[in-house]
Chain A
Amino acid sequence: MTEEERIEEPRDQFPVGMRVLAVDDDPTCLTVLATLLRQCQYHVTTTSQAIMALKLLRENRDKFDLVISDVHMPDMDGFKLLEHVGLEMDLPVIMLSAYGDTKLVMKGITHGACDYLLKPVRIEELKNIWQHVVRRKKIDPKDHNNFESKDKHHTANGGGQGATSAGHPDQNVRLNKKCKDQDDDDEDEERDETDHDNDDPSTQKKPRVVWSVELHRKFVAAVNQLGIDKAVPKRILELMNVEKLTRENKYRLYLKRISSVANQQANMAAAFGAADFSSLRMGALSGYGNLRTLAGPRQFQSPSFLSFPSSGVHSRLNSSSLNMQGLSSSRMIQLGNIQSLTNPVTDPCKLQQPAVVAGSQSGNILQGMPTSLELDQLQHGKGVACIGELSTAINVPKALAVPSGFPDMKVNVGGLDNALVGFSKNSLMLRGHPQGSQGTGGATGNSFVVGASLGSDFSPQFPNHDRCKNNWQSAQSPVFSTSSLPSNDHQKCATLGPSDMRNNDSATAAHIVNNISNLPCMDAVASHMLDQIGDFQCQEAPICSSGIPNIEDIPKQTWEQDFSNRSELICGTNSLASPHNVMGPLGQSFNSNNTMFSNNMELNMIGQSNCDDPLPMQPHWAQKSALEPILDSRQGYPVAQRKVQENISNSISSIEDFMAPMVKQKHEDTTFMDGDFGCDFYSLRTCS
């Protein structure tokens, strides 16, 4: 059951024989848990009292590798136990509870838990818990390569607190990353502060900013496999600092949040050693801006963005730094235009634009983008911003050229809030994906979301699947042109698209985009996407496409299909996107969009959580998004779907319409919750 890859030569057959201490006052759960753990070939010790557990741990520190503890216990609060263990023994602790409220999960994270599982616990989840032990061990020896592993992202909580593992730059960085991975912006902020307090001595102008800089630097260093000197990151950092200052002046919160993300991006860009350092910076900045904007809108929508970019940054540094730059810049440009709606957005945009133009490799794209941006109707400002974010998000995870493309697309679409929304959603998804699915999906998710949102007739023009943003970009542009959207930007975008051909996923993204654009005929798009996506690594793409058509018709179905196929993430976005599209013409308020984003996020998360393999971060994500069912979804997507439905239905009424079938399930439950027990319901069922 070991995941093999990451572990380096298990010396003692690890994770077989890993020693686990299980603590739970409920004997039923404890028995089940112990048996499940033994089934995973761990060595299990159980106790029903926290005090006893502490005693056991203190007696022999080396006797256990991992602790799993229930949250609610009569003799001692599970969080207290968690703290003690973390402080005294520095062992990874996994929290367990029947409730997965965001607050509880948050609490667990802040207290240092490296994971939070929901009851009933599934054996699949238990099979992966050894990663927390490995992670802790690896933090010390490894210095720079920690960031790259996505697992870190996934286990947001893992090193998060850093209280126990403080002092390690990698850990710190990881912590930050993890923080970023958090869904909530608030979390990020808290985390940043926490981290800052805990670890980083950086005390430059703004702690947060500095911290992130530090992180980025470290991150860059870590990621810097290219052998790029820290000098580059430093420069970037400087730039970032400078920019941060200016930006922060403008928007306090957003900037802070974004800056951390942006820093990462900047660092990443730097790391990649963009030929044009200035451009790199710009890119970084733009990435920044994007991130920021993303962060900003994220607030509306969901914190996921923040986490997303950060994660994306990490993962993507290696691959597509350059791309990111260009993309980010392009995005920034777009963002700039979009300013109208979101202030934060505007700020970064402005900053970004110059940077973008200058640095971004996708100069062409950038140029095109501004135009598109112009056309872009600021109404969607938020949406656009979101898009920008999306693009950044997209870029980050995958050096997909797509990101740049996206903004364009969005911009053009501009008028459609939905489009933006969809986009942002995508980005959300992307984010989730990068963490989980390594960004491949994310990009695709975005792309198609964008398309969906646009609802335009983008015709899938670019069939290339592989790599290249260029392809994607070009695809995008054609898409734009083909799109029936009235905005002229589309056409412009079209022109831009080709110019931006970058490497990598752009092609696929294009496809996706194309597909998405055809969303009006979702099916067509879906099929396209499916085909194209196949080529792409993005597994999610197909799902998304399938998701999109489904959404219109049967959201549930789509999700179900996709969920099983890792498409969960995409589907979530797709489904979200589609609702948006539907809503788009209605000119839904951004709030709804935001909610949708959050929903998307949740969906993403759900998808993620559902997909066991691709998304390691699932548990965290799911938890964070307080999607208890998701975590609980033994069955995977069905639960998630329900959850998603709930979220969606809650947020967007329109969505509820099509979500109705799915929501119904939830409603049944919710009716109970209202104290309005469906006695009838029960009576019907209790037909013994």
Chain B
Amino acid sequence: MRDIRRSGRRDSTRGERKYGLFQVISPSRSAKTGLPLWLLGLGVDRLRTDMSRLLALLFHQGVLDEQFLQLQQLQDESCPNFVSEVINIYFHESEKLLRNLRGLLSDREFSDYKKMGIHLNQFMGSSSSIGAKRVRNVCVAFRAASEQNNRAGCLRALELLEHEYCYLKNKLHEFFQIEQQRVLAAGVRYPIQN
């Protein structure tokens, strides 16, 4: 709900037209909001546009690559939330890895580059599996630094990695929020059509 309101606010900046749609809703109670049901369905298109715009931006920035699209294609009726599930697993694991890496490098007497390499390997594999291109690229550079036992380079890489990861996470969260709203809005629409 809170999300909807937030997006509603955002939406309102673009125009007042959709304001009302998001202001009030919980999907099951849309009919009780007083808004005509047919209006609720309009949100779907807008949301879809938002989603594609966001995705396009991410692709353009190189944050995501086509592997992400492939994930989306795998999502269908049999696994309707596949993408978000996988991405959540990814976030969970990545945060663990980042914590480990940060812990390793914080140690003054750090010397276990091999262990770091293992973490990095996993991070790289999972990032590339979901299409997180920029994160993966940083991992590659990070790996190179660790192979050279370059602690300073590793630290720099880690910072960059954390930065990229945060950016990715925020954007993907946003993406899923829109997706969620879209699903809700689309769900609302069906009864109208019937």
Those of A660-677 within 8 Å (CB) of chain B: 669, 671-675, 677
Those of B75-113 within 8 Å (CB) of chain A: 79, 82, 85-86, 89-90, 93
Beta-carbon contact of B82 and A35 below 8 Å:
yes
- Residues in A whose Cβ lies below 8 Å from that of B141: 669, 671-675, 677
Residue of B nearest to A672 (CB): B141
Given contacts A28-B90, A32-B86, A674-B144, contact A686 B126 (CB under 8 A): no
A137 contacts chain B at the CB level, 8 A cutoff: no
Taking a contact as CB atoms closer than 8 A, the residue among A26, A36, A74 that contacts B126 in the complex is A26
Beta-carbon contact of B156 and A675 below 8 Å:
yes
B190 contacts chain A at the CB level, 8 A cutoff: no
Beta-carbon contact of B148 and A632 below 8 Å:
no
- Residues in B whose Cβ lies below 8 Å from that of A74: 118
Q: How far is the CA of A671 from the CA of B153 in the complex (A)?
A: 12
B172 contacts chain A at the CB level, 8 A cutoff: no
Beta-carbon contact of B140 and A669 below 8 Å:
yes
Instruction: Count chain A residues whose beta carbon lies closer than 8 angstroms to a beta carbon of B.
Output: 38
- Residues in A whose Cβ lies below 8 Å from that of B152: 675
- Residues in B whose Cβ lies below 8 Å from that of A119: 124-125, 128-129
Given contacts A669-B140, A672-B138, contact A26 B122 (CB under 8 A): yes
Those of B3-22 within 8 Å (CB) of chain A: none
B41 contacts chain A at the CB level, 8 A cutoff: no
Taking a contact as CB atoms closer than 8 A, the residue among B71, B124, B156 that contacts A32 in the complex is B71
Beta-carbon contact of B66 and A635 below 8 Å:
yes
Those of A631-688 within 8 Å (CB) of chain B: 632, 634-635, 669, 671-675, 677, 679, 682, 685-688
A276 contacts chain B at the CB level, 8 A cutoff: no
- Residues in A whose Cβ lies below 8 Å from that of B157: 672, 675, 677
Q: How far is the CB of A116 from chain B (nearest CB, A)?
A: 14
- Residues in A whose Cβ lies below 8 Å from that of B145: 673, 675
A164 contacts chain B at the CB level, 8 A cutoff: no
A25 contacts chain B at the CB level, 8 A cutoff: yes
B70 contacts chain A at the CB level, 8 A cutoff: yes
Beta-carbon contact of B61 and A28 below 8 Å:
no
Question: Which one of B86, B134, B170 has the highest number of Cβ atoms from chain A below 10 Å of its Cβ?
Answer: B86
Beta-carbon contact of A28 and B129 below 8 Å:
yes
B48 contacts chain A at the CB level, 8 A cutoff: no
Residue of B nearest to A682 (CB): B160
* Cβ contacts B150-186/A at 8 Å (1 or 0 each): 1011001100100110010011000000000000000
Beta-carbon contact of B156 and A28 below 8 Å:
no
Q: How far is the CA of A70 from the CA of B138 in the complex (A)?
A: 22
Beta-carbon contact of B122 and A25 below 8 Å:
yes
Taking a contact as CB atoms closer than 8 A, the residue among A29, A36, A122, A685 that contacts B125 in the complex is A29
Q: How far is the CB of B62 from chain A (nearest CB, A)?
A: 6
Residue of A nearest to B128 (CB): A120
A626 contacts chain B at the CB level, 8 A cutoff: no
Residue of A nearest to B91 (CB): A28
Q: How far is the CB of B118 from chain A (nearest CB, A)?
A: 6
A123 contacts chain B at the CB level, 8 A cutoff: yes
Beta-carbon contact of A682 and B163 below 8 Å:
yes
B50 contacts chain A at the CB level, 8 A cutoff: no
B130 contacts chain A at the CB level, 8 A cutoff: yes
* Cβ contacts B46-67/A at 8 Å (1 or 0 each): 0000000000000001100111
Beta-carbon contact of B121 and A677 below 8 Å:
no
A606 contacts chain B at the CB level, 8 A cutoff: no
Given contacts A123-B70, A673-B144, contact A634 B65 (CB under 8 A): yes
B137 contacts chain A at the CB level, 8 A cutoff: yes
- Residues in B whose Cβ lies below 8 Å from that of A35: 74, 79, 82, 86
Beta-carbon contact of B70 and A122 below 8 Å:
yes
Beta-carbon contact of B160 and A120 below 8 Å:
no
A121 contacts chain B at the CB level, 8 A cutoff: yes
Taking a contact as CB atoms closer than 8 A, the residue among B90, B128, B137, B167 that contacts A672 in the complex is B137
Q: How far is the CA of A635 from the CA of B65 in the complex (A)?
A: 9
Residue of B nearest to A32 (CB): B129
Residue of B nearest to A27 (CB): B89
- Residues in A whose Cβ lies below 8 Å from that of B86: 28, 31-32, 35
A72 contacts chain B at the CB level, 8 A cutoff: yes
Residue of A nearest to B87 (CB): A28
- Residues in B whose Cβ lies below 8 Å from that of A682: 134, 138, 160, 163-164
Question: Which one of B70, B144, B148, B157 has the highest number of Cβ atoms from chain A below 10 Å of its Cβ?
Answer: B70
Residue of B nearest to A36 (CB): B74
Q: How far is the CA of A679 from the CA of B140 in the complex (A)?
A: 15
Q: How far is the CB of A450 from chain B (nearest CB, A)?
A: 37
Q: How far is the CA of A686 from the CA of B122 in the complex (A)?
A: 24
A231 contacts chain B at the CB level, 8 A cutoff: no
Residue of A nearest to B142 (CB): A672
Beta-carbon contact of B150 and A97 below 8 Å:
no
Q: How far is the CB of A105 from chain B (nearest CB, A)?
A: 15
A39 contacts chain B at the CB level, 8 A cutoff: yes
Beta-carbon contact of A28 and B171 below 8 Å:
no
Taking a contact as CB atoms closer than 8 A, the residue among A28, A120, A123 that contacts B89 in the complex is A28
Q: How far is the CA of A674 from the CA of B152 in the complex (A)?
A: 12
- Residues in A whose Cβ lies below 8 Å from that of B156: 675, 677, 679
A99 contacts chain B at the CB level, 8 A cutoff: yes
Q: How far is the CA of A99 from the CA of B152 in the complex (A)?
A: 23
- Residues in B whose Cβ lies below 8 Å from that of A29: 125-126, 129
A76 contacts chain B at the CB level, 8 A cutoff: no
Beta-carbon contact of A31 and B144 below 8 Å:
no
Beta-carbon contact of A28 and B137 below 8 Å:
no
- Residues in B whose Cβ lies below 8 Å from that of A27: 89, 93
Residue of B nearest to A685 (CB): B61
- Residues in A whose Cβ lies below 8 Å from that of B163: 682, 686
- Residues in A whose Cβ lies below 8 Å from that of B134: 682, 685
A275 contacts chain B at the CB level, 8 A cutoff: no
B43 contacts chain A at the CB level, 8 A cutoff: no
Beta-carbon contact of B140 and A675 below 8 Å:
no
A242 contacts chain B at the CB level, 8 A cutoff: no
Those of A1-56 within 8 Å (CB) of chain B: 25-29, 31-33, 35-36, 39
Q: How far is the CA of A673 from the CA of B150 in the complex (A)?
A: 11
A87 contacts chain B at the CB level, 8 A cutoff: no
Residue of A nearest to B121 (CB): A72
Beta-carbon contact of A632 and B144 below 8 Å:
no
Given contacts A29-B129, A672-B140, A688-B171, contact A99 B121 (CB under 8 A): yes
Residue of A nearest to B63 (CB): A685
A586 contacts chain B at the CB level, 8 A cutoff: no
Given contacts A28-B89, A635-B66, A688-B171, contact A121 B148 (CB under 8 A): no
The 3 closest A-B pairs by CB, nearest first: A672-B141, A675-B153, A673-B144
A contacts, CB < 8 Å to B: 25-29, 31-33, 35-36, 39, 70, 72, 74, 97-99, 119-123, 632, 634-635, 669, 671-675, 677, 679, 682, 685-688
Known: A27-B89, A688-B167. 19 other contacts (CB 8 A): A28-B86, A28-B126, A32-B129, A35-B74, A72-B121, A97-B125, A98-B128, A99-B124, A119-B125, A119-B128, A635-B65, A635-B66, A672-B138, A672-B141, A673-B144, A675-B148, A677-B141, A677-B153, A682-B163
B contacts, CB < 8 Å to A: 61-62, 65-67, 70-71, 74, 79, 82, 85-86, 89-90, 93, 118, 121-122, 124-126, 128-131, 134, 137-138, 140-141, 144-145, 148, 150, 152-153, 156-157, 160, 163-164, 167, 170-171
- Of the A-B pairs whose beta carbons lie under 8 Å apart in the complex, a sample of 5, sorted by A's number, is A74-B118, A119-B128, A677-B153, A685-B134, A686-B167
